[in-house]
Chain A
Amino acid sequence: MASIDTPSPSARSGSGERNILARLWYEKETRGVILQILTVVLLFAFIAYITLNAIANLALLGKTFSFDFLSEPSHYDINQTLIEYTSKSTHFRAGLVGILNTLLVAICGIILATILGFILGVLRLSPNWLVSKMVYCFVEFTRNVPVLLHILLIHGFVVHMLPKPRAAQEWANLADLVFFTNRGVFAPMPLLGDRFSWVATAFLVAVVGSFIFARWAKKHQAATGQHLPVVLINLGAIAALPALAYLLAGSPVGWDIPALKGFNFRGGFVIRPEFLALWLALSLYTSAFIAEIVRAGIEAVSKGQWEASSALGVSRGRTLSLIIIPQAMRVIVPPLTSQYLNLTKNSSLAIAIGYMDIVATVGGITLMQTGKEMETMIIVILFYLGVSLFISAIMNWYNNRIKLVER
């Protein structure tokens, strides 16, 4: 404040306008505003500069900026397609195939990483010394080796160690139904008959019924204190009802069993080495981080909760599932979100082993064949941005649901 009362020599000698500017500058609050305005202006100037630079350089090369190429035929084949696709399909569809492949490996990876991570995290706290130390070693090894090496290692293992198709037919199979080859795991694929809808309906009924039963059982327990084996009953229902429907419908499911024809197994269902390697590597790598997050979350719950629970005679397993984990989730969810985001983005390493994700299709082959670097990269970036924001939104919603409600 002293500086306002006695303006600096330069401000005194300048015009009135400069005097005001100097005063604004020496006032702490207005200076903050000025700095913020300057930052925003500089940021926009920088964005304008790189945009203009890109426009100028594209113009210089005589290149146009347009997404018309998306409707042209792609002319290339993709080995793993979740939707129908041929080399006559458009680049747009090739991009869609790539997006679905990315989402497939990301979703499978998140599921497996979460399951493994929770198991490992809980085992890490096990009172059993050997179990705890083994998990510790696994976690430290896995999370301290770059994920790209995990991918290459597993891919190399599958491709070099598993037998070629002809040898697999002789020995690397389960009851001549599932074949383990270095070109993938071939398993029978169910062919659904007309009456399969009976089974599907029975399954749906069982699931919905289970939910209703679980809610009722909870109320019942609250009212009477009587505890019913809900999980057992529900699992039984979910297994038994569809099985009954299956028999009533006269076994409406046929099986397409893979068989060696020519070079490869044909028919059935295949998990390619590229998917297998990427999926397992991303899951193992991320599960190590999740294990540490889960451990931290559990340890963040006050020890008194354990003691109070055991004083009431609650078993260790129940204490964990009913008292500790619900509280630990509040600590676990925010860092878990960023692990999910990491896993999804790490899936772009797919190109190292030739898994055809969005980077390999739109950001790779389409880019090369059409020369549209700017457009294809924008598509890829926007896709990852969109997926990441979507995952964040879901996790934030979940976090809001479970967070501590202050009364």
Chain B
Amino acid sequence: MKRIVLGATAALAMMATAANAGTLDDVKARGELICIVNSGFVGFASTDASGKWQGYDIDYCKATAAAVLGDAGKIKYKPATGKTRFTILNSGEGDVLWRNTTWTFVRDVDVKLAFQGVNYYDGQGFMVPKKLGVKSAKELDGASVCIQTGTTTELNLADFFRVNKMKYEPVPTENNEESRTNLLAGRCDVYTTDASGLAATRATFKDPENYVILPEIISKEPLGPVTRHGDDNWSDIIRWVKNALVAAEELGITQANVATMAKGTDNPEINRLLGAEGNLGGMLGLEKDWAVRAIAAVGNYGEIFERNIGTKTKIGLERGLNALWTKGGLQYTPPFR
């Protein structure tokens, strides 16, 4: 009996390993990338009137699908709440998590997630109706605060109020939409989440001019893509797709000129990135033109930013920390060589 049990354990472990190790093979065999995204967050991941997904995180899904499968349309979106996202990823129901997720020690080490860098440097802020006359987060003693449950913001909020010796009433909800409703109905005085999220939420109000985002940013929220532990090849792909888009901006490659540049230029780094020299794509297990396809699908980092959340959109976020390192920001990529 003991041997049977051991045998069964081994067989199960092997089955599970087989299912887990080759995410790239799974995606190729399926012909479809399963991308775990936010269930509704204007600017980052939301559906338009015709039900099509669009947004900053969605563009990253498209870039990944284009690099891996050669077609930015072969994606199945799997919407997740703050609470369900890691379970969906770890149980293998999705291939990658592009869902404004903060990189923290515990999530990386103890929850066994593999963070693949930062595609948006964010921080937690507060938004209040203008008529309350609040000028600083330090004036919020006694306020009711709307918050999405199961997020890092919940912990930062508790720390911020405790350190500043203020009291508050947390009003938890499951997603951004419910918090928005609560704020508009006056169930809470303040809404707190990542500053990008505040701007995106405000953009959906009928009267955005009547709400202000307070100056305090109370936390570091580096948002980035997440994969499962134990599939290094797949993690490499996600990390370098993200890096390729930053490198493209740095090197002046855009959605418009990528096809011409791919034919070969004087700059060896561009040639290596776009596959005119060497075979970086092959090392990842992808086609030679993986980066060309990704850039052709969604443009470089700056283009993705400006199209979805930049100053010309109604969300209107500045590049700020997310400018390239050459322009005083933090967006930086290791070299492609």
Contact = CB atoms under 8 A, between A and B. Distances in A.
Given A182-B187, A261-B142, A369-B155, 13 more contacts: A48-B8, A60-B17, A77-B168, A87-B159, A159-B187, A160-B185, A263-B140, A264-B144, A264-B169, A354-B173, A368-B149, A370-B110, A370-B111
Contact of A182 (B5, B12, B172, B186): B186
A52 B158 contact: no
11 contacts: A53-B12, A57-B12, A61-B112, A75-B158, A183-B144, A263-B132, A360-B172, A368-B82, A368-B83, A369-B106, A371-B111
A88 B90 CA distance: 29
A368 B150 CA distance: 5
Contact of A79 (B17, B155, B169): B169
Nearest to A55: B9
Nearest to B161: A77
A336 interface: no
Contact of A78 (B106, B170, B182, B189): B170
B261 interface: no
A261 B229 CA distance: 50
A364 to B, nearest CB: 6
Nearest to A69: B110
A208 interface: no
A63 B113 CA distance: 11
B174 interface: yes
Contact of B13 (A59, A182, A261, A360): A59
B233 interface: no
B157 A61 contact: no
A352 interface: yes
B20 interface: yes
A347 B196 CA distance: 34
B318 interface: no
B154 interface: yes
A52 B171 contact: no
Interface in B171-199: 171-174, 178, 182, 185-187, 189
Contacts of B150: 364-365, 367-369
Given A52-B5, A60-B16, A164-B186, A371 B143 contact: no
Interface of B: 5, 8-9, 12-13, 16-17, 20, 82-83, 86-87, 90, 106-107, 110-112, 132, 140-144, 149-151, 154-155, 157-159, 161-162, 168-174, 178, 182, 185-187, 189, 228-230
A264 B5 contact: no
B20, B154, B168, B230: which has the most chain A beta carbons within 10 Å?
B154
A56 B112 contact: no
B101 to A, nearest CB: 11
B158 A60 contact: no
Contacts of A371: 86, 106-107, 110-112
Contacts of B161: 77
Given A264-B169, A266-B142, A354-B149, A56 B185 contact: no
A263 B158 contact: no
Contact of A56 (B16, B87, B151): B16
B87 A373 contact: yes
A356 interface: yes
A149 B74 CA distance: 36
A86 interface: yes
Nearest to A272: B169
Contact of A263 (B144, B173, B174): B144
A306 B62 CA distance: 75
Contacts of B20: 60
A263 B171 CA distance: 14
Nearest to A355: B172
A354 B161 CA distance: 20
B64 to A, nearest CB: 22
A300 B82 CA distance: 51
The residue in B173, B182, B186, B229 that gathers the most chain A C-beta atoms within 10 A of its C-beta is: B186
Interface in A77-105: 77-79, 86-88
